[in-house]
Amino acid sequence: MAGGLALSLAAGAGLVWAAGGGLAPPAVDPKVVHAPLVVPDRIVLTPTTDPATSQSVSWRTSAAVTTPKVQLTLAGTGVAKPSSTVDATSTTFTADLGYDVRQHSATLTGLQPGTTYLYRVGDGETWSEWLEFETARTGNAPFSFIVQGDAQNDIKSYVSRTFRAAYEARPYAKAVLHAGDLIDTDDSDAEWGEWFGAAGWSNGSMNVIAAAGNHEYYPGPELAEHWGAQFEYPRNGPETTSRIAQLYSENVYYTDYQGVRFIALNSNFPGDPEAFAAQTAWLEEALKNNPSKWTVVTFHHPVFSVSSGRNNAAIRDAWLPLFEKYDVDLVAQGHDHAYGRGNLVANESGLPAGASADRSNKGPVYMVSVAGPKYYVIDPVGDNNWTQNGAHLRTSLANTQLYQLVDVTDGEMHVESWNVSGQMVDAFTIAKGADGTKLVTTDTTPRASGPGSTRGGIGRPGLPEPAVPGEKPTEPETPTKVVPVVRATTSQQRYGTTAPVRVSATIAPVAGAVPPGTVTFRTGSRVLATGVRVTDGTAALTLPRDLAVGSYAITAQFVPTGTGFETGTSTATTVRVVKASSTVTISGLPAKVKAKARRTLAIRVAVPGIAAPAATVTVRVDGRVVATRTVTGTVSIKLPKLRPGKHKVTVDYAGTANVAASRVVKKVVSRR
Ligand SMILES: [Fe+2]
C-alpha cells in the first residue's frame, strides 16, 4: 500500500486510525532520495553538560568526506569571517539501503554565555550554509522549548506539519524534546532521512534532546546504529559496569539549561534488573544533586497510560516515587499515541488559599503526547490507568497530532498543547516561588507569545531601529512602566450565577497609543487568565460561574510584547463569591391524610443556574427524623403512617460549601 490513509478496526491492538506505514510514497527509489553526498545534511545541535560555554553539532555526509570540520564566528550582519575551525570525529557504517554513510560530530568549547554564533559544517571545500545558535545564558533566564511525542510513522507526509507548526510558534526555542519513537524501524535510513527532513534546518538551530523509545530498538535487539553516530549527547549516564555504560551511552543523560535540568531516560529495560536498577539509582542522584530551579524528565513508556490496555507498572513503581520525592516539574512521555495530562490525586489537597482542586495541584505534571498520525483507543476519563493508580487524568485527547510549547520565565513554567490546525487543546502554568512553593494551575487562554517567539526574547531591551539607515543607534530609553486599572462590574457573585462578574483592566495610552501587550489576571498566586488580548485599551475577564465561595483579591498585570515598556501590576479589586440559594419543595402530601395510608413524599431541590449538587436531605415528622438521604435533585421518600391528629412534616436540604441550605414545612391533619 502506497501510504494512503487506512482505517483499521479497533479490535486487538487498539489502533484506530493510522496513516499507511513507515514512509511517504516512494515515487523515487529511497536509495536515490536518501543517499548521502559530500554536501552535509542531517545537521543537528545537541546539548553538552555546559551549554553556556560549549555546543555539540553532528551531521552526515558520504564516506568520501575525510576531513570533517566546523567553522565558527560571532554572529554579524555581513560576510562571516570564521574565527575558529574545529575538527570533527566520524563514524562510518553501511546503511540498510546499501550505501555507506559517515556521521560527524564536534563539540565547540570556550564559547561566551548568552552569545549568538554562526557556524557551518563541511570538509574544507564543501560547506553547509551558515547556521545560528545562541549559547545558554548563565543562571536562570527566560527561554522556550518544544516537546514532541512519537513521530514514528509517515514522518514526511504528516510529522513535518507538527514540527513546522511548533517551529512557527516558537522559532527561537532553545531546545526540542522528543519522547522516543522518532522512527518506526531502528536502522531504516529512509525513516531517519524523513525525520531530519521534517525538522529541516530547525535541528541545526536548537538543541535536540531525544529519548529512545521501543522503536529505536525495533526489530532490535540493539539500539539504532544511527543514534550514537548522529546524536552527540553528554556521556554522564549510568556507568556501574562496562555493560551498563555501553547500554546507556548517549541515551541516558542530563543537561542544565538556564535554570532547567533536562533528564533523558531510557524506559526500555525494566526487564533487565541490573540495568533498570542502575538507571533508577542514577536517576535519584541526578534529581538529588540538581542545581537547577526546574526539572523536566523525558522518556518513552508513560508512568500512567492513556491508551486502553496499557500499564507500565515497573516504570511507575520505580520512578514515580522519585519524581514525587524530588518534585519534578514536568514528565514528558510518549508511546500511547494519544494525549493525557494530570497528576497524583494526593497532590490536590492542602492547596493554598484561593486554589481549588478542580484546576490546581501541587507536585509533578505527567504528560503523554503524540506528534505523528498513528492513534490508539483511549480509556474513559473516569476509569483508566491513572484513576486505578491514584492519579487524576485532567485532560485527554485522541486522534490528534499535537505539540507542546513550554515557556520558562523566572517564576513560571507555562505549557501549552496545540493541535496542528492551530487550536490550543490544553494549557497549564507551574508557578514556583523563590522558596520552592509550587502550584500547577490549568489555563484556558493561550498566551500570545513566549521568550522563544522572537529573536530577542520577552522583555529583553533592545536598541531601537535607527531612524536613518546606517545611522548609529541611540541608547535605549528607560522603559515606561504600564500599570493597568482593574474594575469589577460588581463586588459580589453568587455561586452558579448565569450572569457572572466581569473584571476589566484598562491600559492607559502612552504618547497617544495603547502599548502593545496582554494582561494576566490573578488572585493571589493563582492565574485566572493569561495572555488576555487588549482591545481599545481594555482587557476583560468573565469570572467562572463555578468559582468557589470565598473572597478573591483580583489583580491585572500588563505584559508588554514590544520594547520600551515594562510590566506593571494593578492594585487589587475584591470580588466576594457567596453561596447559591436553594429551594426545597415537596409534593404528594395533601393537607388531610388518612391515618392508615403511608404517603410518598416527592422532594425536589432546585438551585438557580446549576443542577442541585448532592447533599443530605433530612425528613422529620413532629421533630423526629424519619429519613435521611443524599439527594441530587429529586428523591421519593415514603412516610410512616401518621397517627390521627395534627402533624408537622419538615424537609431540610443541608446544602454544600457553595450552596445554601433550605427547608420546607408542611402541616398535615391525619384522620381515621
Ligand atoms: Fe512506543
What digits encode the pLDDT tens for the residues 373-391? Answer: 999 999 988 899 999 999 9
Task: Determine the length of the chain.
Answer: 672
Distance 441 CA to ligand 1 centre (A): 29
Distance 20 CA to ligand 1 centre (A): 17
pLDDT-derived band at 18, boundaries 50, 70, 90:
low
CA distances to 179, 275, 640 from 251, in Å = 12, 13, 73
Q: At what angle do helices 313-325 and 273-288 cross, to 10 degrees?
A: 20
Instruction: Name which of 176-180, 248-252, 563-567, 572-576 the model is least confident about.
Output: 563-567
Looking at per-residue pLDDT, the higher value among 73 and 10 belongs to: 73
Residue 102, classed as helix, strand or coil, is strand
pLDDT value at residue 456: 72
Distance 290 CA to ligand 1 centre (A): 29
pLDDT above 90 (res 1): no
pLDDT above 60 (res 142): yes
* Across 621-631, average pLDDT: 92
pLDDT value at residue 470: 46
Beta strands in 507-641, from DSSP E residues, in sequence order:
517-523, 526-533, 538-542, 550-560, 565-566, 568-569, 573-578, 583-587, 592-594, 600-606, 615-621, 624-631, 634-638
Q: What is the mean pLDDT of the chain?
A: 91
CA distances to 361, 392, 402 from 375, in Å = 29, 22, 12
* Across 482-510, average pLDDT: 90
pLDDT value at residue 19: 55
pLDDT value at residue 2: 38
Q: Cis (ω within 30 of 0) for the bond into 221? A: yes
pLDDT above 60 (res 278): yes
pLDDT value at residue 633: 87
pLDDT value at residue 294: 97
Distance CA 616, CA 408 (A): 46
Distance 616 CA to ligand 1 centre (A): 48
Question: What are the two backbone dihedrals, phi and then psi, of residue 316, each rounded to the nearest 5 degrees?
Answer: -65, -45
pLDDT-derived band at 308, boundaries 50, 70, 90:
very high
pLDDT above 80 (res 635): yes
* Across 613-633, average pLDDT: 92
pLDDT value at residue 17: 54
pLDDT above 50 (res 9): no
Distance 149 CA to ligand 1 centre (A): 10
Distance 347 CA to ligand 1 centre (A): 28
User: What is the secondary structure of 340-379 as a DSSP string?
Assistant: EEEEEGGGGSSPPTT--TTTEE-S-EEEE-B-SS-EE-B-
250 in Cβ contact with 266 (< 8 Å)? no
pLDDT-derived band at 319, boundaries 50, 70, 90:
very high
Residue 545, classed as helix, strand or coil, is coil
CA distances to 390, 391, 448 from 482, in Å = 45, 42, 18
Strand-pair category, 143-148 with 175-178:
parallel
* Across 67-77, average pLDDT: 95
Distance 174 CA to ligand 1 centre (A): 26
Closest to 250 in 3D by CA, of 115, 141, 107: 107
* Across 202-231, average pLDDT: 97
With a CB cutoff of 8 Å and minimum separation 6, the contacts of 73 are 80, 81, 82, 83, 84, 117, 118, 119
* Across 496-523, average pLDDT: 89
Distance 54 CA to ligand 1 centre (A): 32
Distance 520 CA to ligand 1 centre (A): 38
DSSP 314: H
With a CB cutoff of 8 Å and minimum separation 6, the contacts of 392 are 342, 343, 344, 345, 348, 361, 386
Strand-pair category, 100-108 with 41-46:
unpaired
Instruction: Match 500499564 to its residue by C-alpha cell.
Output: 311
Distance 241 CA to ligand 1 centre (A): 27
Distance 671 CA to ligand 1 centre (A): 75
pLDDT above 90 (res 526): no
Distance 182 CA to ligand 1 centre (A): 9
Closest to 60 in 3D by CA, of 29, 79, 38, 28: 38
User: What is the secondary structure of 266-299 as a DSSP string?
Assistant: -TT-TTSHHHHHHHHHHHHHHHHT--SSEEEEE-
List pLDDT tens digits, range 580-609.
Answer: 999 999 998 999 999 888 889 999 999 988
659 in Cβ contact with 644 (< 8 Å)? no
Protein residues with C-beta less than 5 angstroms from the ion ligand 1: 181, 213-214, 335
Distance 412 CA to ligand 1 centre (A): 30
pLDDT value at residue 475: 45
Distance 97 CA to ligand 1 centre (A): 24
Closest to 431 in 3D by CA, of 352, 346, 321, 532: 352
pLDDT above 60 (res 476): no
Distance 191 CA to ligand 1 centre (A): 15
Strand-pair category, 634-638 with 645-653:
unpaired
pLDDT value at residue 457: 64
* Across 277-292, average pLDDT: 98
Distance 266 CA to ligand 1 centre (A): 12
Distance CA 89, CA 195 (A): 23
Residue 93, classed as helix, strand or coil, is strand
Q: Which helix (H) or strand (E) holds 325?
A: helix 313-325
Distance 96 CA to ligand 1 centre (A): 22
120 in Cβ contact with 127 (< 8 Å)? yes
pLDDT above 90 (res 329): yes
595 in Cβ contact with 670 (< 8 Å)? yes
Instruction: Name which of 225-239, 250-264, 395-409, 517-531 the model is least confident about.
Output: 517-531
Closest to 563 in 3D by CA, of 518, 510, 516, 513: 516
Instruction: Name which of 334-338, 363-367, 456-460, 503-507 the model is least confident about.
Output: 456-460
* Across 525-543, average pLDDT: 89
Distance 156 CA to ligand 1 centre (A): 19
pLDDT value at residue 462: 43
Q: In 513-546, which positions are buried (b, 16+ CB within 10 angstroms) versus exposed (e)?
A: ebbebbbbbbbebbbbbbbbebeeebbbbebbbb
Distance 311 CA to ligand 1 centre (A): 13
pLDDT value at residue 455: 83
Distance 199 CA to ligand 1 centre (A): 20
pLDDT value at residue 166: 98
What count of Cα atoms within 13 Å lies in the side-chain half-sphere of residue 543? 33
Q: Return the percentage of the chain with pLDDT > 90, whole number.
A: 78
Closest to 490 in 3D by CA, of 380, 577, 393, 369: 577
592 in Cβ contact with 671 (< 8 Å)? yes
Distance CA 28, CA 412 (A): 48
Q: Which helix (H) or strand (E) holds 122?
A: strand 116-122
Terminal-residue alpha carbon distance, the chain: 85
Distance CA 183, CA 148 (A): 13
Domains and CATH numbers, the chain: 140-442 (3.60.21.10), 480-578 (2.60.40.10), 583-671 (2.60.40.10)
